[in-house]
Amino acid sequence: MSPTRSAAARKAARPTTRATTAFDPIRVEPAYRKVAAALLERITDRTINAGERLPPEVELARQFGVHRGTVREALRELESNGVLKRERGSKLMMVTRPARATVAAGISRALALHDVSFHNVWEALTALEPPIAAAAARARKPVDLERFDALVSHLDALDTEAAVEQTAEFFRATGEATHNGVFMLAHEPLVQLLVPSLGVMIDKVPQARARIADAQKRIVSAIRARDPAQAGEWMAKHIRDFRRGFDIAGIALESHINGG
């Protein structure tokens, strides 16, 4: 044999090393989660449309090859997420659209758990609300103007709790006046996060109600006139005013928001 070892022999003589890469455990989901995911996929791809009723639990269990209790758990999960509902007097689940407030509440909680601050929310509102107001000026309908008129007519007379709700509803009305579902949903989680601090600000800043009322009226006037530039400009001023109000009220913008 040649004194020079073959390449295969040299390779075999090398010390072996153990892989140091860590592997994540394989996640085994409960069967009801898999059933829920399968149903949700059919709902989101519109194979099953809003308003349609699902087959009875027994039939679903037969189709999925699982126990009826597994199907029941899956339906309960989708119902809690607002995807299904059971009408009074019916044993069958009906597909429905989740309410925006329900969807947004989940996002708000997730944002709070990720330690968002008042400054984060204010910065996001600064980016979102002026374009939303401009879009509302372009797309508003008579019914939107009627809603605005009802909202801005009595802010000064409201107690703090009602004034907070009115302020939140004004943002929602502006979003809905765009008739753009993305806009409507995009700012709702931020509005929900802002609401708990508004009461403190309104109570501590004497001029807060008057300034909010004035800004709302100017925004509505621009939306009524179909003036996107003015609507966006006044909304930007309105959001900047919120920051000044927080400073006067002593609310630390860098403090984390409690999502409740």
Q: Per DSSP, what are the bridge partners of residue 93?
A: 86
Q: Where among 46, 61, 95 does a domain terminate?
A: 95
227 and 165 part of one domain: yes
Q: At what angle do helices 208-224 and 181-204 cross, to 10 degrees?
A: 150
d(CA 211, CA 165): 16
- How many CB atoms lie under 10 A from the CB of residue 51? 9
Q: Is residue 202 part of a domain?
A: yes
35 and 120 part of one domain: no
Q: Where among 95, 112, 139 does a domain terminate?
A: 95
DSSP code string of the chain = --SSPPHHHHHHHSPP-------PPPP---HHHHHHHHHHHHHHTTSS-TTPBPPPHHHHHHHHTS-HHHHHHHHHHHHHTTSEEE-TT-SSEEE-PPPHHHHHHHHHHHHHHTT-BHHHHHHHHHHHHHHHHHHHHHH--HHHHHHHHHHHTSGGGS-HHHHHHHHHHHHHHHHHTTT-HHHHHHHHHHHHHHHHHHHHHHHH-TTHHHHHHHHHHHHHHHHHTT-HHHHHHHHHHHHHHHHHHHHHHT--TTSBP---
120 and 242 part of one domain: yes
Domain count for the chain? 2
Structural domain for 187, as ranges? 101-249
Q: Where among 95, 121, 147 does a domain terminate?
A: 95
161 and 195 part of one domain: yes
43 and 157 part of one domain: no
Q: Is residue 11 part of a domain?
A: no
pLDDT value at residue 11 = 55
70 and 174 part of one domain: no
Q: Is residue 119 part of a domain?
A: yes
Q: Is residue 15 part of a domain?
A: no
Q: Is residue 36 part of a domain?
A: yes
pLDDT in tens, the chain (260 residues): 555 556 555 555 565 666 567 887 877 889 999 999 999 999 988 899 989 999 999 999 999 999 999 999 999 999 988 889 988 888 899 998 877 777 767 777 777 777 888 888 889 999 999 999 999 999 999 999 999 999 998 777 788 889 889 999 999 999 999 999 999 888 888 888 888 788 888 888 888 888 999 999 999 999 999 999 999 999 999 999 988 988 888 888 787 776 54
Tokens read off for 209: 């109600």
91 and 170 part of one domain: no
127 and 200 part of one domain: yes
Q: Is residue 82 part of a domain?
A: yes
186 and 110 part of one domain: yes
d(CA 9, CA 245): 78
